[in-house]
Amino acid sequence: MLRALYTSATGMKAQEMLIDNTANNLANVNTTAFKRSRMDFADLYYSNQRAPGSSISNEQVSPTGLQIGNGVRVVSTSKSFVSGTPEQTGNPLDVAIEGDGFFQVEIGNGETRYTRAGSFKLDNGGRLTTPDGFVVLPNITIANGTDGMSITIGKDGTVQIGTAGSDQGRQTYGPIQIATFLNPSGLSSEGNNLYKATDASGAAVPGTPAAIGYGQLNQGFLEGSNVEVVTELISLIAAQRAYEINSRAIRAGDEMLQTATDIVR
């Protein structure tokens, strides 16, 4: 009975963490390029009352054994890097990656972070930046700005600036590079749509968009969140029900323990 109390408590804790994770997914259903998280669980150690294959008599062994489980634990969370649906914005500085890859940005002190959110701006120095002011790498500086000019970002990351409606005198910058990872699930989420490379993800491998192994860039689009509301709601309801059932198991174990205590008295 005491084991049931502990086992059910681990179940409640696991479902609580699952609900927290699902709530975060739902909260970011409209976040640009957000990647949903999934949770992995594993059963806890077992108490072996009788091990499978142990001797029952001189000539017989136990075909199944007797093992009592002790609950569940959360093993890990991992990101699903399935692409979200591209959403057309018409903004020439909005860029979506179609396929594999991350934009590279410098956050200060020479540190690099990675993002799928391609909502870019030009700062007062003409540098291409994120809305938070992080400079896109490699650094692309458009010295004279884009007032009265058209800007074109090709699928290969090449940036061209020129007079609207004319191909003459167009200036070429870039290209914008993107980076891939051997294990994207090993990236560490830091908020603000940023990821940090870790030993688990492997080092970033920069390359040119639309090259083999790299996604292409789509100007005038932003990648949407890959959260599926219906799937998350089903997960939320299932976790809530599992939480309630585990709480009932605790109450049942407590009542049985109280009954046993009353008998002793």
Q: How many domains does the chain have?
A: 2
Domain that includes residue 243, residue range: 2-81+227-264
244 has pLDDT over 90: yes
Assess whether 95 and 205 both reside in one domain: yes
Mean pLDDT of the chain: 91
Assess whether 206 and 127 both reside in one domain: yes
Assess whether 120 and 71 both reside in one domain: no
Q: What is the pLDDT of residue 54?
A: 77
Sign (positive/negative) of CA torsion 73, 232, 249, 49? negative
Assess whether 198 and 114 both reside in one domain: yes
Give the confidence band of 109 by pLDDT, cuts at 50, 70, 90. confident
Report the pLDDT averaged over residues 22-48: 95
Assess whether 114 and 161 both reside in one domain: yes
DSSP reduced 3-state for 96: strand
Give the Å distances, CA to CA, from 97 to 71, 84, 172: 42, 10, 20
Report the pLDDT averaged over residues 88-100: 96
**Do residues 33 and 222 touch, judged by C-beta distance below 8 A?**
yes
Q: What is the pLDDT of residue 96?
A: 98
Assess whether 130 and 215 both reside in one domain: yes
163 has pLDDT over 80: no
Assess whether 218 and 90 both reside in one domain: yes
**Do residues 98 and 86 touch, judged by C-beta distance below 8 A?**
yes
Assess whether 96 and 204 both reside in one domain: yes
Assess whether 31 and 133 both reside in one domain: no
H or E element, residue 112 = strand 111-115
Assess whether 219 and 105 both reside in one domain: yes
